[in-house]
Amino acid sequence: MAENTGTGWTGGKNAFGDFAPGMVHYTDRVLFDEVWEREGLSKRDRSLVTISALTALGKMDQLQFHLGYARQNGVTDEELREALLHLAFYSGWPNGMGATSVLKRIVEEQD
């Protein structure tokens, strides 16, 4: 088990406050302090894997965050567009279209 690196991640706390303390704990302390900080894959690669899974599953709400996070982790907009096009053929055209629409909104909001 990876050590708790204490990254200070508070996404779970920000989303749920005291409403769902278990979800807060596992999101902030396990997922982001441990899993995302493991050696073996860069954060950039973890972002691409996560985006692939979320797109394939049609999880557009979570994809909103993770596409932005991927950009912070060094994935370019062109790489994201290309990844989503590739994913559309493997995960279904509607999932690829939905994910590309989410990315388009993110890019347009940043410009």
In a domain, 105, yes or no: yes
In a domain, 61, yes or no: yes
**Same domain for 95 and 53:** yes
Residue carrying the six token digits 């994809």: 63
**Same domain for 103 and 52:** yes
Give the residue ranges of the chain where pLDDT is below 70. Answer: 1-6
pTM of the predicted structure, to 2 decimals: 0.87
In a domain, 16, yes or no: yes
What pLDDT is stored for residue 2 in this prediction? 38
**Same domain for 53 and 15:** no
How many domains does the chain contain in total?
2
What pLDDT is stored for residue 4 in this prediction? 42
What pLDDT is stored for residue 78 in this prediction? 98
Q: What is the pLDDT of residues 62-87, one digit of tens each?
A: 999 999 999 999 999 999 999 999 99
For residues 105 and 3, what is the distance between their CA atoms, to the nearest angstrom? Answer: 36
- Is residue 36 within a helix (H) or strand (E), and if so which, with residue range? none
In a domain, 106, yes or no: yes
Range of the domain at 22: 9-38
